[in-house]
A and B are shown apart, each in its own frame.
Chain A
Amino acid sequence: MTAATGTRRHFALTENLIGYGTMLLIVGVLVAFLIAPVGVILVKAFRGPDGFTLDYFRLLFQNELHMEATVNSLALGLVTVIATTIIALPLALLNAKLEFPGKPLLTGLLLMPMVMPPFVGAIGIQRFFARRGVVNLLLMKIGLTDAPIEWLEGTRIFWAVAILEALHLYPILYLNLTSALANIDPSLDDVADTLGVSKWKRLKDITWPLARPGYFAGAIIVFIWAFTDLGTPLLVGYQQALPVRIFNMISDVNENPMGFALVVLVIVMTLVVFFVSKLALAGRKYEMLARGHVTNRVQKLSFVGALPCYLLLGLVILLAVTPHLSVALTSFSDNWFMTIVPEHYTLEHYHQVLATELPMIGIKNSLLFSGLSTVVDLFLGVLVAYVIARKVVPFTGLLEGVTMMPLALPGIVLAFGYVVTFTGTPLDPFINPMTLLIIAYAIRRLPYMVRAATAGLMQTSRSLEEASMVFGASRFMTLRRITVPLIAANLVAGCLLCFAYAMLDVSDSLILAMKDQYYPLTKAIYALFLEQGRGELTASALGVLGMILLAICLLGASRVLGKKMGELFRS
């Protein structure tokens, strides 16, 4: 018996090398760059000069400004979820139930906000809603108001941020709902029909309960995203948002421990939201039984019959692109002042981008950092997905859980943790943030890569790999010659997503890059934006270039992935 046990271990050696090796590697990387930084924050938040203390939290809860910021950001998250629901729910139903000319193009355009970084849009919205901005000029021209309205003052600025967030984030909810609806076996609707159930009742009793897990999965991401987004409130100038407060504390973080307490507060609230929603959904995921031939019954509309659809879609798309349209207009405008649209156009600002140092550094750095982080993601992602999908080790559930953690971890928390953990080490972001930026980008996008690769592996029959091994190929050769080519499409899509979102990253880039020469694209845009004079114009031009780059990446990804793209944006 003992001999058999011993040799069996030898038999499974290669298997175990991949399985446990990956496990160790992933856990090692995540402990060092995910858990340790958060741990350091926790420790510092509770440690005073004389050991354990709750003083910082006492001070925090007594600080009216901080408390106000917390309430503001929670409200921002909630309002954004409500607003995105109002936008996304009818759109998803429309997509699932109706067919009309031009639908693929229009529903594709709905996803545009995903390629438009909201903080670039923030530049546009400022110009739009400025005292002498387009909106006021328009209102005065048609005589609705005599004096310019201060849109971005007082409480109105909250709504400006909320609108920007909602317009940026509704596609996430829309994609989640769409894939949830697409997963519902149409015969379930048919059964309800044969029983004489009314349309409304069917929606309430059958469609909604089945789509609910998908809705919540998307809603959590939307909430956390809006709650912890740094870029948008920062550029709109909404100083009373929690992430902006944290950002302002970074520079003197090692003197003022209040920042730690504030970050811990963000972590706790994120976790509470996350687990409450998971708990509410526990045991509510329904497996579709016997899915035979799925032919979705869609109602076909003529061009005229679809007019309300065009109106709705057109309105949403128009609203969604308005901020970025404004940025684009700005980037081409020559002396745009006191008119609704620019009177003269120029390519001067793009010249400026190419001619000045900072924008080029930003582009170069971002391409390099994002590219390298994508390579890291590809390597780690394929390994993790393989171990998970093929159940190489017994506790793959744990591995999956740990790998997915970055989805729920706000970017500002991680970046903040990096600053406090690695200051004074060889990775010191104050000296050279490159390594940390690449790691931060990679860790936060790893879930997308793992999901994309896992989805591919799940669809690939395991016997295809077994066949290869039966014919004498090693596990590695099998992975290289059989598995990877079979899931190549998924890997390409995963890479494009990782790359695009690394290019778009705001919190890590803004917080970790401290010197001009290491500025990534987003920080370069921010820095230009803050510059007096022409800075805003150059920032707009740079923003437009960034958006074009992202658009290409994401279009490629969605072409490869199709409907499954929505499943990447789940919690």
Chain B
Amino acid sequence: MEVVFERIVKKYGDVTAVGGVDLTIKSGALHFLLGPSGCGKTTMLRMLAGLESPSSGRILFNGKDVTNLPAAARGIGMVFQNYALWPHMTVRKNIEYGLTVQKLAAEQIRQRTDEALTITQLTRYGDRLPGQLSGGQQQRVALARAIAVRPTVLLLDEPLSNLDAQLRLEMRDNLSRIHKQLGITTVYVTHDQKEALSMGTNVSVFRAGQLIQTDPPRQLYHSPKSAFVARFVGETNLLSATYLGQKDGLHSVRTAIGAVDANRSMVNAKSGDEVVVSFRPEAVKLNIGGHDSPADNRLSLKLDHLTYLGESEQFQLMGPDGTLVRANVFNPPDHSLAIGDSVTAWVAAEDILVLPVETDQPAST
């Protein structure tokens, strides 16, 4: 089922939670709504569920306007952040409830419930009460309950946020597997960019009630269209710069720590314009352990701080004016650098992106 949001606005009194969003969720996709808390992503999901009504705009299911359809009539399945398992019903009763509402035959209810229990590997727990289950099991019951009704759209509201790190990784795989198996159009709300990157077919990034960018994970990470997305999806170095001009397909910019050439630009700038350059810490190479650098895009910096993590080492480098650059070196070589030592860093032109200057800084990054 294809879901379309058309110029959706949601206001609570004077506060605008969602400010005019257009978004298409493709049929069968695992579509992520990603953003920091308070960005409007949960409000979007609740409007899609029919738990909130938009202040203006339309929501279409396969072209049919469902904006005014109550939640009960939309045929959706939803996993709530706190799971919302009914504590007075057993696991089986929880799953059956939605099917009873649909007035299915007893035999069919039993069969669908069994199916849902099997797919979520809960067969042994049907007679337990939710309170007798672990967090991960509760999460699976919530999922089983949502898929048992054969929903047209499956909605997941931060489904993994209450689990510990290990379980979260496990459940990610689980969710991906179930999504592939059932092929239900799924909308997944999260603030965890790793969940979005690792599982999503498409990811929509929200900020302060606005949809900033929708793209498949690779494209989103590789070609963010704004400094906000670059920073929110993965880690990045953002440096203020002045645009110098274009030459041989490369964009030249001057930063406080030197001039660099960038392969790609997301902004139509002319010479003298203020811009921002972005490059990922893992794209920064250092002249340590015998490596040497090519001549271009070299930056002369001093070591400010370093964190050794085993599989990688994080370097924080500082330019003469105090500009900080982070470098993430995988499989780090042995070295004897001390704080304050000079380091030469370089970044390949294809790893540098020219972005427009952010108009307003968000309160938190």
Contacts and interface: CB of A to CB of B under 8 A. Distances in A.
Interface string A449-470: 0000000000001011011111
A77 to B, nearest CB: 43
B161 to A, nearest CB: 14
B67 A466 contact: no
A496 B28 CA distance: 53
Contacts of B82: 461, 463
B75 A472 contact: yes
B136 interface: no
B68 A470 contact: no
A482 B56 contact: no
Interface in A457-500: 461, 463-464, 466-474, 477, 481-482, 485-486
Given A10-B68, A469-B51, A471-B101, A4 B56 contact: yes
Interface in B90-105: 97-98, 101-102
Interface in B261-313: none
Contacts of B72: 469-474
A4 B86 CA distance: 34
B77 A471 contact: yes
B352 interface: no
Q: Give the size range of A's interface with the partner.
A: 20 to 34
Contacts of B70: 11, 14, 469
A471 B51 contact: no
B68 A467 contact: no
Contacts of A464: 84-87
A8 interface: yes
A12 interface: yes
A473 B99 CA distance: 10
Contact of B101 (A8, A10, A472): A472
A471 B97 contact: yes
B78 A467 contact: yes
Given A467-B80, A486-B88, A1 B56 contact: yes
Tell me the interface secondary structure of chain A in the complex: helix
Contacts of A1: 56
A81 B67 CA distance: 58
Contacts of B85: 464
A6 to B, nearest CB: 9
A8 B98 contact: no
Contacts of A474: 72
B113 interface: no
B53 interface: yes
A425 interface: no
B49 interface: yes
A356 interface: no
A470 B53 contact: no
B67 A481 contact: no
Contact of B149 (A8, A10, A472): A472
Contacts of A11: 53, 67-70
Nearest to A468: B97
A7 interface: yes
B53 A12 contact: yes
B15 interface: no
A204 B145 CA distance: 53
Contact of B76 (A461, A470, A482): A470
Nearest to A13: B70
Contacts of B98: 471-473
Contacts of B51: 466, 469-470
A467 B84 contact: yes
A509 B153 CA distance: 59
B71 interface: yes
A1 B51 CA distance: 20
Contacts of B77: 470-471
B73 interface: yes
A10 B72 CA distance: 14
Contact of B68 (A7, A14, A471): A7
A12 B80 CA distance: 22
A8 B58 CA distance: 11
A10 B69 CA distance: 9
Interface in A480-533: 481-482, 485-486
Nearest to B51: A466
A10 B70 CA distance: 9
Contact of B78 (A10, A12, A470, A477): A470
Nearest to A5: B56
Interface in B124-176: 145, 149, 155
A459 to B, nearest CB: 11
A463 B68 contact: no
Interface string A48-75: 0000000000000000000000000000
A472 B78 contact: no
Contacts of B84: 461, 463-464, 466-467
A7 B82 CA distance: 31
Nearest to A473: B101
Contact of A481 (B54, B68, B75, B97): B97
Nearest to B81: A463
Contacts of A7: 67-68
B82 to A, nearest CB: 6
Contacts of A468: 86, 97
A209 B126 CA distance: 50
A471 B80 CA distance: 12
Contacts of B102: 472
Contacts of A472: 72-73, 75, 98, 101-102, 149
A12 B53 CA distance: 8
B207 to A, nearest CB: 25
A8 B53 contact: yes
A22 B49 CA distance: 26
A102 B79 CA distance: 47
A471 B86 contact: no
Nearest to A482: B86
Contacts of A461: 82, 84
Contacts of A8: 53, 68
A468 B101 CA distance: 9
Contacts of A10: 68
A470 B67 contact: no
Given A11-B53, A466-B51, A471-B77, A4 B67 contact: yes
A486 B131 CA distance: 14
Contacts of A466: 49, 51, 71, 78, 80, 84
* Chain A CB within 10 Å, residue with most, of B53, B76, B82: B53
Interface string A181-219: 000000000000000000000000000000000000000
A471 B87 CA distance: 17
Contacts of A486: 86-88
A349 to B, nearest CB: 47
Nearest to B155: A470
Contacts of B87: 464, 486
A486 B67 CA distance: 31
A358 B149 CA distance: 61
B14 to A, nearest CB: 15
A1 B87 CA distance: 42
A481 B85 CA distance: 13
Nearest to A478: B72
Nearest to A466: B51
B10 to A, nearest CB: 11
A334 B48 CA distance: 77
Nearest to A465: B84
Interface string B349-361: 0000000000000
Interface of A: 1, 4, 7-8, 10-12, 14, 461, 463-464, 466-474, 477, 481-482, 485-486
Given A467-B84, A470-B49, 5 more contacts: A11-B69, A464-B87, A466-B51, A469-B51, A473-B98
18 contacts: A4-B54, A4-B58, A4-B67, A8-B53, A461-B84, A467-B84, A467-B145, A468-B97, A469-B70, A469-B71, A470-B50, A470-B51, A470-B71, A471-B101, A472-B75, A472-B101, A485-B88, A486-B88
Chain A to chain B: the 6 pairs with minimum beta-carbon distance, closest first: A471-B98, A463-B84, A7-B68, A467-B84, A472-B101, A11-B68
